[in-house]
């Protein structure tokens, strides 16, 4: 039988071949840290997680560089709960898990520019790179645009600049969350025929990116989940009150054969424990489904909580 097919691949006859559009998988919005209960389970855990990741493209696994912990990322609390349950039932691997963590996003709200310089001279060969970037809000997503005039910076140094921009978008500036909806324009720079290198331009770009990002009135975006609840009519009031208490927004109510279908949007951070709460409110007679909808700007309280320096900047008027 087939041993290496992956989710999203197409099996077809050689003649005539059939090609389908690839599946577009959304980025994970919630994560948690896990570790094996015993050292002996470590290898089996990693192999099991690799198998699960092949089956489910929306599930990601990575190792935290600072703590060494395994970080699981998925599309919601229930998604990760099911994966952890499968580790125990199907793969016989016991794990300790932490609390789910929301994967926020960082972005800017105003255009800003900055110049990054990496110039060092210490006897031998020096380091010289100057990069000027303009960052702008971009609803279409992240983009890099090279607007350098011919000869200002040699062409071989443009890819390192673009790579540094990509790396900074991945790692974030404020709190380590990915940067979204930001257009980066490379507009100027300088180099030295003997002292410049790829690494110099990466470091100068990182400095320019950070300074421009901080000057662009940055903020955070949070994942918003679309919730659908099917419930007997007598529990609708309790469900609506619970959604409002979770800072949710009611989208619609629909009556179907003695039941009500409630559709709403709720910030992901307020959905943890929702399944247990719903069972309590409806005596276990309601069902629900939840999926990622979009990213939305956070409120001022959350913004300051995620990046406390915002509070001190507001007090000093900067």
Q: What is the pLDDT of residues 243-288, one digit of tens each?
A: 999 999 999 999 998 899 999 999 999 999 898 899 999 999 999 9
Q: Is there a domain that residue 23 lies in?
A: no
Residues 89 and 149 in one domain: no
pLDDT score, position 282: 94
Domain count, the chain: 3
Q: Is residue 318 included in any domain, yes or no?
A: no
| More confident of the two residues 309 and 243 | 243
Q: Are residues 244 and 187 in the same domain?
A: no
Tell me, yes or no, whether 123 and 211 share the same domain: yes
Q: Report the largest interatomic distance among the alpha carbons of the chain, rounded to a whole angstrom.
A: 83
Kindly tell me if the per-residue pLDDT of 162 is higher than 90: yes
Residues whose CB is less than 8 angstroms from the CB of residue 79 and which lie 6 or more positions away in sequence, other chains included: 30, 58, 59
Cα 168 versus chain centre, distance? 13
CATH number at residue 147: 3.30.230.10
Peptide bond into 16 cis (omega under 30): yes
Provide the whole-model pTM.
0.81
pLDDT, one tens digit per residue, over 212-248 is 999 999 999 999 999 999 999 999 999 999 999 999 9
Q: Single out the residue in 160, 194, 216 at which a domain terminates.
A: 216
Q: What is the mean pLDDT of the chain?
A: 90
Q: What is the pLDDT of residue 315?
A: 58
Contacting residues for 53 by C-beta, under 8 A, at least 6 apart: 59, 60, 61
CA gap 71, 61 in Å, rounded:
6
Which residue segment(s) compose the domain that 165 sits in? 107-216
Q: Does some domain include residue 312? A: no
313 confidence band (pLDDT: 50, 70, 90): low
pLDDT of residue 314: 59
Say whether pLDDT at 299 is over 80.
yes
What mean pLDDT do residues 29-37 have? 91
pLDDT band at 60 (very low <50, low <70, confident <90, very high): very high
Give the count of alpha carbons within 13 A of 159, CB side only.
3
**What is the reported pLDDT for 317?**
57
Across the chain, where does the E strand assignment appear? 30-36, 60-63, 70-74, 95-97, 101-102, 105-108, 112-120, 127-137, 143-146, 182-191, 218-232, 249-256, 259-267, 287-297
Average pLDDT of span 56-79 = 86
Q: Do residues 163 and 198 both lie within one domain?
A: yes
284 assigned to some structural domain: yes
Rounded to 10 degrees, what is the CA torsion of 301, 302, 306, 309?
-20
C-alpha 175/C-alpha 306 separation (Å) is: 7
Q: Quote the pLDDT of residue 2.
A: 66
Pairing relationship of beta strands 95-97 and 101-102 according to DSSP bridges: unpaired
| 157-181: average pLDDT | 95
Buried b (16+ CB within 10 A) or exposed e, 276-293: ebbeebbeeebebebebb
- In degrees and rounded to multiples of 5, residue 97 shows phi and psi of -125, 150
The number of C-alpha atoms within 13 Å of 306 and in the hemisphere containing its C-beta is: 25
Q: Count CA within 13 A, CB hemisphere, residue 76.
A: 21
pLDDT at position 26 over 90: no
Domain endpoint, select from 102, 134, 166? 102
pLDDT of residue 7: 74
H-type alpha helices, the chain: 42-55, 77-89, 158-171, 198-215, 236-245, 274-282, 300-306, 309-316
């Amino acid at each position: 039988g087939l041993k290496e097919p992956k989710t999203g691949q197409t099996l077809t006859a050689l003649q005539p071949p059939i090609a389908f559009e690839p599946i577009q998988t959304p980025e994970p919005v919630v994560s948690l840290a896990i570790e094996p209960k015993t050292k002996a389970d470590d290898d089996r855990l990693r192999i099991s997680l690799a198998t699960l990741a092949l089956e489910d493209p929306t599930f990601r696994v990575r190792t935290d560089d600072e703590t060494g912990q395994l970080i699981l990322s998925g599309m919601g609390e229930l998604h990760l709960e099911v994966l952890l349950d499968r580790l125990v039932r199907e793969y016989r691997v016991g794990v300790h898990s932490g609390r789910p963590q929301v994967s926020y996003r960082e972005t800017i709200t105003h255009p800003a520019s900055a110049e990054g310089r990496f110039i060092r001279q210490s006897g031998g060969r020096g380091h010289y790179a100057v990069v000027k970037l303009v960052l702008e809000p971009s609803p279409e997503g992240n983009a890099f645009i090279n607007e350098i005039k011919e000869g200002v910076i040699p062409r071989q140094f443009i890819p390192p600049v673009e790579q540094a921009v990509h790396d900074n978008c991945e790692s974030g500036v404020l709190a380590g969350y990915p940067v979204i909806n930001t257009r980066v324009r490379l507009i100027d720079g300088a180099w030295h025929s003997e002292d410049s290198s790829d690494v110099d331009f990466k470091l100068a770009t990182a400095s320019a990116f950070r300074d421009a990002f901080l000057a662009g009135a940055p903020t955070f975006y949070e994942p918003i989940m679309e919730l659908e609840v099917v419930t007997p009519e007598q529990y609708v009031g309790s469900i609506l009150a619970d959604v409002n208490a979770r800072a949710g927004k009611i989208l619609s109510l629909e009556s179907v054969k003695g039941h009500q279908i409630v559709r709403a949007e709720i910030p992901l951070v307020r959905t943890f424990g929702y399944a247990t709460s719903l069972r309590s409110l409806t005596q276990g007679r309601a069902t629900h489904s939840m999926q990622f909808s979009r990213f939305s700007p956070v409120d001022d309280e959350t913004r300051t909580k995620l990046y406390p320096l915002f509070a001190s900047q507001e007090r000093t008027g900067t």
